[in-house]
Chain A
Amino acid sequence: MNNWSQFIYCLSAGYFLYYLLNLAYDLSRGGRSGPASTGSSPMLNIADLDVPLDAGMISEGTFPGREDLPEGLLSSGPISSTGGITLKEAMGDALKESILYSSQIPS
């Protein structure tokens, strides 16, 4: 390496080659099936199935381990709104309401 420019060029070329090799490796794996599924894994490659799946036959209970999970572990539960307000807003509303009551008291 005579100077910094040549060093940078060589480093870039080396990295580019490394990138190409990685790309080629990934493309060569692309044609194969996904990771070998174990017995407990719920994953399956739909593209490999000869007969299409009937979605109506799938119920939530068929997913392994689903029944044993505590409620709400995988989700935050049903979407609901309490309609809650902050304490400051409640104090403001209470003040307005109290004025309506107090105005009934003759002064």
Chain B
Amino acid sequence: MVIAFGNTKAGTGKSSLLLLLASYLSSLHRRVYLIEVGDNGALNQFHQRSKILEHSLPFEYFACGLSGANLLISRLSAEAETFILVEFPSEGYNEDIVPLFLAADLLVIPFCYDVPTLHSSVYFACLSRRIKKGISLLFLPNRVSSRAAHDLREETDRVLRQIAPVCAGITEHIGFQRISSMSLGAAFLKRSLPVLDLIYHHYLPKTGRP
């Protein structure tokens, strides 16, 4: 099963949320491949640190360019019962990205409740639907503060739900800013467990699930 995270705006938390999901799925004893499409993204930097610190990672990480990503995904998909998590590049869209949309069983769009991010998230969702008709999308609110009142959040969710489901949000936590390698602490993972459980049990397409 191919689960992709994408948004045309950088800084929506794709890398950290993807890392969180990879760690979660690995904790369920699933075989997980993590692919970062693009050059020298955040995941690549985390991976470099993990290599130096000799972390034993529960999943495999690959970094590749846009042109070779589809081939890599198709090769890894040949292996049964695997989760392939893909981070889309935030920019540099060309024709090579189309197969990535087609390969995705679920496309998660992380976003924050600020105007620029919302616009880019809606645009990315509309583009995804135009490239692959009937694509499974999921809006994932990120950096939701339980203390702050998000004005117009209900209105925003209502509009987004016209396009795709909106998942429960990942709450803001200082731990996200302290991620520096691919090894996440168990306590940190536990904080987001309810949302990850929800994604796993409710939003992952039943067909193709390992």
Q: List residues of A whose CB falls within 8 A of some B CB.
A: 87, 90-91, 93-95, 97-98, 101-102, 104-107
Partner of B159, one of A91, A101, A107: A101
Size bracket of the B interface? 20 to 34
Complex CA–CA separation, A35 to B74 (angstroms): 53
Most buried by A among B122, B129, B152, B163: B122
Closest Cβ of chain B to A63, distance in Å, is 39
Contact A94 B127 (CB under 8 A): yes
Contact B94 A94 (CB under 8 A): no
- Across the two chains, which residue of chain A brings its CB closest to B151? A106
18 examples of A-B residue contacts, CB within 8 angstroms: A87-B95, A87-B98, A90-B131, A91-B93, A93-B130, A94-B129, A94-B130, A95-B123, A97-B130, A98-B123, A101-B163, A102-B118, A102-B119, A102-B122, A105-B152, A105-B159, A106-B152, A107-B115
Q: List residues of B whose CB falls within 8 A of some A CB.
A: 93-95, 97-98, 115, 118-119, 122-123, 125-127, 129-131, 152, 155-156, 159, 162-163
